[in-house]
Structure 1
Amino acid sequence: MSVAGEGGAAGEREQPEPQAGAEERSGTHLFALCLTPEPGKEVKEVEETIEEMLIRLDEFCGMTDMIRSDTSQLLDEAIPLIKVKVMEMNNIYTKVDKLEAFVKMVGHHVSFLEEQVLQAEKTLGTFPHTVRKLLRSATIPLFRNKHTSLPQHMYDLPKLYRTEDYFPINYVGTKYQNR
């Protein structure tokens, strides 16, 4: 018995008695583990953020590709059409400029002829020629003798423009154009 008792006593001595500091350390460690989130949760959040950023990057790349294709379509299709329209408009502008010059020239001729008509009216009187003929043929001698003393002037028409020179018969837009 004594051997067993001694061995039993010796076995009790070999087990270390728990110290108060070790228990506190293991409790603190457990408490710290409870407060920190799981490492798997953080990894999932990072992966989700990366996935969202990759989706946004794909959307951005898609938009830039769409812009590039629209730009190339614009350069290939729309710009040549715009150039053709610009050339057509330049032709129209040229015609409008020529028409403005024509109208200005006609205006000068009209004012010249109007001045000549006013001068002729002053010279020959304000009565038109047909009224004077009627008065001459009347039996009243007062009117007959009054205008017989005026000398007869022949009017020479000044050389003016010819509309056909500016707008030929086969000109586009005229009613006489060749069909």
Structure 2
Amino acid sequence: MDSEQENTEDQSIAKCAEDYAAYMDIESNPSCKNKEIDVEASIDSVLSSLDKFYGMLDMIRTDSTKMTDEVLQNFRAEREKMRLIYKKIDDLEKFIEVIKSDCDSVEKSLKESEAEFGTMGSIKKALEGIRFNFWEKKEVVPPVVPNKAPYTSPNIYNTSDYISSGSNKSGLADEAMSIPD
């Protein structure tokens, strides 16, 4: 019985192997023939799409490189222009510091003069000299001005050091500072 059973098993295994081989054989199976055509068409479609995608990536890479080069050149040119503007701003800041310093010294001198001579005192003295009572005689005493050293103006900037009167369109001396138009 063992041999019959082995024969039956061998036959079933052989039959199963034949069925499986037929199932895997795409060319002889008519239902798979259409599927094979569909699979090949899908593969061709995917390959075509990949080719288009690769072409698009290559174009983007080329355009990106070209645009980067153009943008960098423009950026470098603008950077040089901005450096000139920054230099002019720095020069203007220095000029403003000089003017501020000179204005501070003039203001200090003015405060000292006001304290020395008094602005309100002179107005009061002028009003005291006016007689409101005409029948009363009052002797007017001229104001006494103390003998002080003559006024000397503080040393301030000279505009011609910073601004030229030549044919320079901006109007500023090239060696001192220049302002954009």
TM-score when normalising by structure 1:
0.63
Do the aligned partners of residues 113 and 69 (structure 1) sit closer, same or farther apart at CA in structure 2, a change above 3 Å counting? same
Give 3-state SS (helix, strand or coil) of 1:38's partner.
helix
Give 3-state SS (helix, strand or coil) of 1:39's partner.
helix
Do the aligned partners of residues 149 and 112 (structure 1) sit closer, same or farther apart at CA in structure 2, a change above 3 Å counting? closer
Write out the 4+ residue segments of structure 1 that deviate beyond 4 Å after TM superposition. 137-141
2:170 aligned with 1:173: yes
2:147 aligned with 1:151: yes
- Displacement of 1:91: 0.6
- Counterpart selection for 1:57 from 34, 37, 50: 50
- Displacement of 1:128: 9.5
Match of 2:160 in 1: 164
Q: 2: distance between equivalents of 1:37 and 1:104?
A: 96
Equivalences for residues 85-124 of structure 1 within 5 A: 85-124=78-117
> 1 or 2, which has the higher helix percentage?
1
- Displacement of 1:77: 2.7
Cα deviation digits, residues 27-76 of structure 1 (max 9, x gap): xx8xx98xx76121221121122122112212221222222221232244
- Displacement of 1:123: 0.3
Q: CA RMSD in A?
A: 3.5
Q: 2: distance between equivalents of 1:128 and 1:48?
A: 109
- Displacement of 1:99: 0.8
Q: Which runs of 5+ in 1 are unaligned?
A: 1-24
2:37 aligned with 1:44: yes
Cα deviation digits, residues 112-159 of structure 1 (max 9, x gap): 211110011000111598x79x77x979753x42x3242143211222
Do the aligned partners of residues 149 and 106 (structure 1) sit closer, same or farther apart at CA in structure 2, a change above 3 Å counting? closer
Q: Percent identity?
A: 27
Highest RCO, 1 vs 2 (Cα 8 Å, sep ≥ 6): 2
User: What amino acid does structure 1 have at the position aligned with 2:153?
Assistant: L
TM-score when normalising by structure 2:
0.62
